[in-house]
Structure 1
Amino acid sequence: MHHLLCGLAANPALPPELVDRLIAVADDDVDRDLAGRADLTRAQALTLASRTEETGVRLAYEGRLTAADVDPAAQPLVALALLDEGVGRPEWAALLAADPAVRHREKLAACPGLPADVVETLAADPDVRVVAELALWTTEPDVAARLAGHPHAEVRRAVAANEATPGAVLAALVAGEGLPPARHCLVCDREEPPFAHGSDCARVDCDLRPGASCDGSHASTEHDMLRAALANPATPAAAVEGFAGHPSMLLRRALAARTDLPAWAYARLAVDAASGIRADLAENPAIDDTLMRALADDPDPGVRRGLADNPRVPLDVLALLAATTRIGGTLLPRIASAGAAEVEELARSPYAAVRMLLARRRDLPDGIRDALADDPDAKVVQAVARHPGLSGALLRAMVDRHGVQIVAAVAANPGAGPALLEHLARHSPPSRKALREIARHPAATAPALVVCLTDERARPIAAGHPALPPQAIAELLTHTDGWVVEAAAANPSLPLTVLRELVSRPAS
Structure 2
Amino acid sequence: MGAFHASALDGVAGNQALPAELLLRLLAFDGGGYGPPRLALQRAGLPEPAVAVILAHPVPGARMEFARSAGAEPAQRARLVDDPSLRVRTALAYGPEVYDPRTKVAPLPDAVCARLLDDPDPSVRAALLDSPHLAPSFVVSLATHHDPAARRRAVRAWEVLPPGDRSALLADPDPEVRRTAALWECRRDARLTADLLRDPRSAAEALRRGLLDRADAERCVAERTHLEALAENPSLPADLVERLAVDPDVAVRLTVSLRPELDETRRMAIDFPVEDFSRGDVEWVRGGLADPQLLRRAATSAHPLLRRAAAQSPHLPPDLLHRLSRTKDPVVDEFLGRCHPDTPEEVLMRVFARFGGTFSAWIAETHPRFPREGLAARYADHPDGNYRRLAVRDPAATPVLIERLSHDPAVWTRQAAARDPRLPLARLREALHIPELASSAGANPALPEDEMAAVLDRAGVPA
Place the TM-score, normalised by the shorter chain, in its bin.
0.5 to 0.7
1:277 offset after TM fit, Å?
3.8
1:432 offset after TM fit, Å?
3.1
State yes or no: 1:176 paired with 2:151: no
State yes or no: 1:417 paired with 2:370: no
**Alpha-carbon distance change, 62 to 254 in structure 1, aligned in 2, over 3 angstroms:** farther
Report the residue type matching 1:45 in the other structure: V
CA–CA distance in structure 2, aligned partners of residues 314 and 130 of structure 1: 38
Out of 26, 37, 48, the residue aligned to residue 43 of structure 2 is: 37
Q: What pairs up with 1:368-447 in 2 under 5 angstroms?
A: 386=346, 414-418=370-374, 420-427=375-382, 430-440=383-393, 444-447=397-400
CA–CA distance in structure 1, aligned partners of residues 261 and 267 of structure 2: 10
CA–CA distance in structure 2, aligned partners of residues 443 and 262 of structure 1: 63
State yes or no: 1:245 paired with 2:265: no
Aligned equivalent of 2:405: 451
Q: Is the 8 A contact 1:148 1:159 kept in 2?
A: yes
1:11 offset after TM fit, Å?
0.5
**Alpha-carbon distance change, 265 to 494 in structure 1, aligned in 2, over 3 angstroms:** farther
1:474 offset after TM fit, Å?
2.8
Q: Is the 8 A contact 2:194 2:212 kept in 1?
A: no
Q: Is the 8 A contact 1:275 1:303 kept in 2?
A: no
Report the residue type matching 2:405 in the other structure: V
Report the residue type matching 1:158 in the other structure: T
State yes or no: 1:478 paired with 2:433: yes
Q: What's the RMSD between the two structures over aligned residues?
A: 5.2
Q: Is the 8 A contact 1:9 1:33 kept in 2?
A: yes
1:10 offset after TM fit, Å?
0.7
1:242 offset after TM fit, Å?
5.7
Q: Is the 8 A contact 1:12 1:492 kept in 2?
A: yes
CA–CA distance in structure 2, aligned partners of residues 441 and 226 of structure 1: 57
Out of 215, 225, 230, the residue aligned to residue 202 of structure 2 is: 225
CA–CA distance in structure 1, aligned partners of residues 212 and 35 of structure 2: 50
CA–CA distance in structure 1, aligned partners of residues 21 and 74 of structure 2: 19
**Alpha-carbon distance change, 356 to 489 in structure 1, aligned in 2, over 3 angstroms:** same
1:431 offset after TM fit, Å?
2.5
- Percent of aligned pairs with the same residue? 22
State yes or no: 1:466 paired with 2:443: no
CA deviation map 1:102-134 (0-9, x unaligned)? 223334556554599975443xx3xx6555444
CA–CA distance in structure 2, aligned partners of residues 223 and 229 of structure 1: 10
State yes or no: 1:10 paired with 2:20: no
- Gap runs ≥5 in structure 1: 178-216, 348-352, 362-382, 389-394, 396-403
Q: Is the 8 A contact 1:432 1:455 kept in 2?
A: yes
Q: What pairs up with 1:98-247 in 2 under 5 angstroms?
A: 98-109=118-129, 111=134, 112-114=136-138, 120-122=144-146, 125=147, 129=149, 131-136=151-156, 140=161, 141-150=163-172, 154-160=176-182, 165=185, 167-168=187-188, 171-176=190-195, 222-232=199-209, 235-236=210-211, 245=221
1:37 offset after TM fit, Å?
1.6
1:87 offset after TM fit, Å?
1.7
Larger Rg: 1
CA deviation map 1:415-449 (0-9, x unaligned)? 5535x51442114xx12331243345565444444
State yes or no: 1:21 paired with 2:25: yes
**Alpha-carbon distance change, 247 to 166 in structure 1, aligned in 2, over 3 angstroms:** closer
Report the residue type matching 1:24 in the other structure: A
1:488 offset after TM fit, Å?
2.3
**Alpha-carbon distance change, 257 to 44 in structure 1, aligned in 2, over 3 angstroms:** farther
Q: What pairs up with 1:63-82 in 2 under 5 angstroms?
A: 63=73, 65-66=75-76, 69-72=79-82, 74=84, 76-77=89-90, 80=93
Report the residue type matching 1:302 in the other structure: E
CA–CA distance in structure 2, aligned partners of residues 314 and 39 of structure 1: 38
Aligned equivalent of 1:380: none
TM-score by length of 1: 0.59
CA deviation map 1:275-308 (0-9, x unaligned)? 334334444443222322213x54x34399789x
Aligned equivalent of 2:239: 264
CA deviation map 1:293-333 (0-9, x unaligned)? 213x54x34399789x9964797957xx8xxx9x99x9699
State yes or no: 1:57 paired with 2:51: no
Report the residue type matching 2:122 in the other structure: V
Aligned equivalent of 1:85: 107
CA–CA distance in structure 2, aligned partners of residues 44 and 384 of structure 1: 40
Q: SS in structure 1 opposite 2:453?
A: helix
TM-score by length of 2: 0.63
State yes or no: 1:302 paired with 2:275: yes
Report the residue type matching 2:26 in the other structure: L
CA–CA distance in structure 2, aligned partners of residues 279 and 462 of structure 1: 48
**Alpha-carbon distance change, 302 to 414 in structure 1, aligned in 2, over 3 angstroms:** closer
CA deviation map 1:193-250 (0-9, x unaligned)? xxxxxxxxxxxxxxxxxxxxxxxx9x9xx44433444555xx547699668737567x
Q: SS in structure 2 opposite 1:19?
A: helix
Aligned equivalent of 2:52: 46
1:255 offset after TM fit, Å?
4.9
- Gap runs ≥5 in structure 2: 96-105, 286-295, 334-342
Equivalent pairs counted in the alignment come to 391
Q: Is the 8 A contact 1:244 1:265 kept in 2?
A: no
Q: SS in structure 2 opposite 1:493?
A: coil
Report the residue type matching 1:33 in the other structure: L
Aligned equivalent of 2:103: none
Aligned equivalent of 2:456: 503
CA deviation map 1:31-70 (0-9, x unaligned)? 4211322341112123223443523422588315359834
Aligned equivalent of 1:209: none
Q: SS in structure 2 opposite 1:21?
A: helix
CA–CA distance in structure 2, aligned partners of residues 454 and 266 of structure 1: 59
Q: Is the 8 A contact 1:133 1:158 kept in 2?
A: no
**Alpha-carbon distance change, 73 to 355 in structure 1, aligned in 2, over 3 angstroms:** closer
Q: Is the 8 A contact 2:381 2:388 kept in 1?
A: no
Q: Is the 8 A contact 1:464 1:491 kept in 2?
A: yes
1:15 offset after TM fit, Å?
0.7
Q: Is the 8 A contact 1:230 1:254 kept in 2?
A: yes
Q: Is the 8 A contact 1:9 1:490 kept in 2?
A: yes
CA–CA distance in structure 2, aligned partners of residues 238 and 445 of structure 1: 72
Out of 247, 263, 271, the residue aligned to residue 288 of structure 1 is: 263
